[in-house]
């Protein structure tokens, strides 16, 4: 039984909810949601296919070359590849329109070859056409062609949709709150990813103890093995395996650099399972034993994450975990001498001056779901018109602030503070070339948050014990 067949009622309920939103917001209308195209890698070879997240959210259907058309009454039509035994020998089995109605719970299913013929008919006499803006190259041109076909019939009494609206708006708000099924899949994805991180940690220590040459790609291979071994379809993003100074490059890609005894390794990696991402970062000593300066800096980052976790709960603002992180890091940077108290003052001065930015230059969180940087506004919808201005102390730019999103039960976000220390004259050399990030995935609950990625430890002593095994 396919994923879509097993949860057909779930996807049908999502389509019904979207249809109700279209009726409410757009005076009726039709939504057109395509899946992702297949993409060529090079001659006669394609990249591994991955469906469009919006399309999958509403259908559970993973085949390419498919479209969903949904009107405000709730009627859904799927356009998909027809059965073709000759092509299926080469490319794999197809569900086909005849089986799609029962399997997916849609009202009708038609060959995708009929798309250009039937879309004008489905758009005729509708008030609004909804489709995802700026996500599918060439989609606007196709919509224009379908609308022009409707306009060609106005002398016969046909009415053409007067408005075009972005369907990503209502879908983003729907996807932002994860239901029980989604949370379960993300917990399982997180468990797989946690095992992968443990495997990489232990491999690093074991190979170094044996005197073997260890490279970043060796650890990357361990991650990929564990992902696939436990049923993950893909990495959720290109894994970062960064040894030594490479950890100070935020989006470093796993390469051939050596993993050296006495250095730290930063791994930012997570698998995708049944369309949902996990996202974990751990930093560990390559040989399984932290040095004094490494442990000091690591414990500071961990303390800042603890503060962010405590700030993550329903009713808080999305920015609260970041503010909590920065408060701890600012004081710690002063205490460890990475920032000079004479020059920078106290922790509040460091925050106001953004002096911490030299060591911590990214935000603490992002949404997580079907996409590793998942959809959904970071501004509270009810407060979009409430603005204030501030002057950035580093760039001098005037920035417009809006109230950040209120966290609600079922939202999922990462919590990922870090510190990245590059050599500099005013920085103690004991901390040079140390990059540390600790990242966990959190489901917002009424009383706090559920960390679903703690299958791999974060406490320094526990990491060392794990790597001795």
Choose, from 52, 222, 268, 272, the residue flagged as catalytic.
Answer: 268
What pLDDT, on the 0 to 100 scale, is given for residue 468? 94
- Mean residue pLDDT of the chain comes to 95
What pLDDT, on the 0 to 100 scale, is given for residue 404? 95
Choose, from 43, 251, 397, 425, the residue flagged as catalytic.
Answer: 251
Structure tokens of 208?
A: 């170094």
Q: Tell me the pTM.
A: 0.95
Q: Which long-range contacts (CB under 8 A, 24 or more apart) does 429-432 make?
A: 430/292, 430/293, 431/293, 431/297, 431/336, 431/338
- Residue percentage of the chain with pLDDT more than 90: 91
Q: Is there a single domain that holds both residue 115 and residue 185?
A: no
Q: What count of other Cβ atoms lies within 10 Å of the Cβ of residue 426? A: 10
Per-position DSSP letters for 353-368, written without gaps between them = HTGGGGT--S-S--B-
Q: Is there a single domain that holds both residue 212 and residue 165?
A: no
Choose, from 279, 371, 440, 441, the residue flagged as catalytic.
Answer: 279
Question: Quick check: is 439 catalytic?
Answer: yes
Question: Quick check: is 416 catalytic?
Answer: yes
Residue that the structure tokens 């990929």 belong to: 224
Residues 322-356: pLDDT tens digits? Answer: 999 999 999 999 999 999 999 999 999 999 999 99
What pLDDT, on the 0 to 100 scale, is given for residue 5? 66
Of the chain, the end-to-end C-alpha distance in Å amounts to: 40
Residue 243 belongs to domain with CATH number: 3.90.230.10
CA 417 to chain centre: 17
Nearest to 57 by CA among 184, 171, 137, 186: 171
Secondary structure of residue 403 in the 3-state scheme: coil
Question: Quick check: is 268 catalytic?
Answer: yes
Question: Quick check: is 320 catalytic?
Answer: no
pLDDT band of 469, cuts 50, 70, 90: confident
Q: Is there a single domain that holds both residue 210 and residue 240?
A: yes
Residue 113 belongs to domain with CATH number: 3.40.350.10
Q: Is there a single domain that holds both residue 167 and residue 202?
A: no
C-alpha 241/C-alpha 217 separation (Å) is: 8
Nearest to 303 by CA among 279, 281, 324: 324
Choose, from 420, 440, 441, 464, the residue flagged as catalytic.
Answer: 420
C-alpha 190/C-alpha 198 separation (Å) is: 12
Per-position DSSP letters for 92-115, written without gaps between them = -----HHHHHHHH--SEEEEGGGH
Choose, from 181, 253, 373, 468, the residue flagged as catalytic.
Answer: 373
C-alpha 376/C-alpha 152 separation (Å) is: 38
Choose, from 437, 440, 441, 464, the residue flagged as catalytic.
Answer: 437
**Among 143, 175, 207, which residue terminates a domain?**
175
Q: Is there a single domain that holds both residue 359 and residue 414?
A: yes
Residues 418-457: pLDDT tens digits? Answer: 999 999 999 999 999 999 999 999 999 999 999 999 999 9
Q: Is there a single domain that holds both residue 323 and residue 419?
A: yes
Choose, from 439, 440, 441, 464, the residue flagged as catalytic.
Answer: 439
Q: Is there a single domain that holds both residue 201 and residue 169?
A: no
Q: Is there a single domain that holds both residue 240 and residue 384?
A: yes
- Residues 6 or more apart whose CB falls under 8 angstroms from that of 273 comprise 185, 188, 189, 192, 231, 232, 233
Residues 353-381: pLDDT tens digits? Answer: 999 999 999 999 999 999 999 999 999 99
Q: Is there a single domain that holds both residue 156 and residue 211?
A: no
Residues 100-157: pLDDT tens digits? Answer: 999 999 999 999 999 999 999 999 999 999 999 999 999 999 999 999 999 999 888 8
Choose, from 366, 374, 405, 464, the residue flagged as catalytic.
Answer: 366
Higher-confidence residue of 409 and 390: namely 409
Choose, from 9, 44, 397, 425, the residue flagged as catalytic.
Answer: 44
Q: Are 7 and 60 in contact (CB under 8 A)?
A: yes
Q: Is there a single domain that holds both residue 154 and residue 186?
A: no
What pLDDT, on the 0 to 100 scale, is given for residue 2? 57
What pLDDT, on the 0 to 100 scale, is given for residue 3? 62
pLDDT band of 466, cuts 50, 70, 90: very high
- Residue percentage of the chain with pLDDT more than 70: 99
**Among 127, 144, 175, which residue terminates a domain?**
175
C-alpha 424/C-alpha 268 separation (Å) is: 26
What pLDDT, on the 0 to 100 scale, is given for residue 399? 87
- Residues 6 or more apart whose CB falls under 8 angstroms from that of 429 comprise 423
Question: Quick check: is 9 catalytic?
Answer: no
Residue 28 has pLDDT above 80, yes or no: no
User: 326-342 burial, b if ≥16 CB within 10 A, otherwise e?
Assistant: bbbbbbbbbebebbeee
Q: Are 265 and 439 in contact (CB under 8 A)?
A: no
Question: Quick check: is 344 catalytic?
Answer: no
Residues 224-281: pLDDT tens digits? Answer: 999 999 999 999 999 999 999 999 999 998 789 999 999 999 999 999 999 999 999 9
- Residues 6 or more apart whose CB falls under 8 angstroms from that of 117 comprise none
Residue 277's beta-bridge partner residues? 272
Question: Quick check: is 366 catalytic?
Answer: yes
CA 82 to chain centre: 32
* Domains: count for the chain: 2
Residue 1 has pLDDT above 60, yes or no: no
What pLDDT, on the 0 to 100 scale, is given for residue 25? 76
Q: Is there a single domain that holds both residue 39 and residue 67?
A: yes
User: 290-324 burial, b if ≥16 CB within 10 A, otherwise e?
Assistant: beebbebbbebbbbbbbbbbebbbbebbbbbbbeb
Residues 34-57: pLDDT tens digits? Answer: 999 999 999 989 999 999 999 999
Q: Is there a single domain that holds both residue 289 and residue 143?
A: no
**Among 142, 175, 208, which residue terminates a domain?**
175
Higher-confidence residue of 389 and 431: namely 431
Can you give the residue range of the structural domain that contains 50?
A: 3-175
Question: Quick check: is 155 catalytic?
Answer: no
C-alpha 336/C-alpha 93 separation (Å) is: 60
Question: Quick check: is 44 catalytic?
Answer: yes
């Amino acid at each position: 039984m396919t994923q879509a067949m097993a949860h057909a009622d779930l996807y049908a309920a999502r389509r019904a909810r979207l249809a109700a939103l279209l009726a409410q917001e757009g005076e009726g209308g039709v939504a057109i949601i395509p899946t992702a195209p297949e993409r060529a890698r090079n001659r006669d070879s394609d990249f591994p296919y991955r469906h469009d997240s919006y399309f999958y959210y509403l259908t559970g259907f993973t085949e390419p070359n498919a479209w969903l058309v949904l009107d405000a009454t709730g009627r859904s039509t799927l356009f998909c590849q027809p059965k073709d035994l000759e092509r299926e020998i080469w490319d794999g089995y197809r569900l086909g329109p005849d089986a799609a109605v029962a399997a997916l719970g849609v009202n009708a299913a038609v060959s995708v070859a009929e798309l250009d013929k039937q879309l004008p008919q489905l758009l005729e006499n509708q008030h609004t056409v909804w489709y995802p803006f700026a996500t599918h190259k060439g989609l606007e041109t196709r919509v224009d062609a379908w609308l022009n076909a409707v306009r060609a019939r106005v002398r016969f009494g046909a009415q053409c949709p007067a408005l075009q609206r972005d369907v990503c708006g209502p879908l983003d708000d729907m996807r932002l709150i994860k239901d029980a099924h989604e949370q379960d899949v993300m917990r399982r994805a997180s468990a797989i990813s946690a095992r992968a991180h443990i495997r990489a940690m232990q491999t690093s220590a074991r190979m170094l103890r044996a005197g073997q040459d260890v490279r970043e790609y060796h650890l990357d291979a361990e991650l990929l093995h564990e992902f696939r071994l436990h049923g993950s379809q893909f990495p959720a993003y290109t894994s970062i395996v960064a040894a030594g100074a490479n950890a100070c490059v935020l989006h470093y890609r796993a390469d051939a650099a050596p993993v050296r005894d006495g250095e730290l390794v930063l791994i930012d990696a997570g698998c995708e399972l049944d369309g949902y991402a996990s996202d974990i970062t751990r930093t560990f000593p390559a040989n399984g034993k932290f040095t004094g300066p490494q442990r000091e800096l690591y414990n500071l980052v961990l303390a800042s994450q603890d503060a962010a976790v405590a700030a993550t709960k329903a009713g808080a603002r999305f920015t609260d975990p970041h503010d909590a992180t920065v408060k701890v890091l600012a004081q710690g940077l002063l205490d460890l001498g990475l920032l000079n108290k004479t020059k920078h003052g106290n922790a509040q001065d460091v925050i106001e001056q953004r002096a911490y930015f030299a060591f911590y230059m990214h935000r603490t969180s992002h949404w997580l779901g079907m996409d590793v940087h998942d959809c959904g506004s970071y501004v509270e919808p009810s407060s979009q018109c409430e603005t204030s201005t501030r002057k950035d102390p580093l760039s001098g730019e005037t920035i417009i602030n809006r109230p950040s999103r209120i966290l609600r039960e079922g939202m999922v976000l990462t919590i990922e503070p870090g510190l990245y220390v590059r050599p500099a004259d005013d920085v103690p050399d004991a901390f040079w070339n140390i990059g540390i990030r600790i990242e966990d995935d959190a489901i917002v609950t009424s009383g706090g948050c559920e960390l679903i990625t703690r299958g791999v430890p974060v406490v320094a002593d526990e990491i060392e014990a794990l790597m001795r095994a």
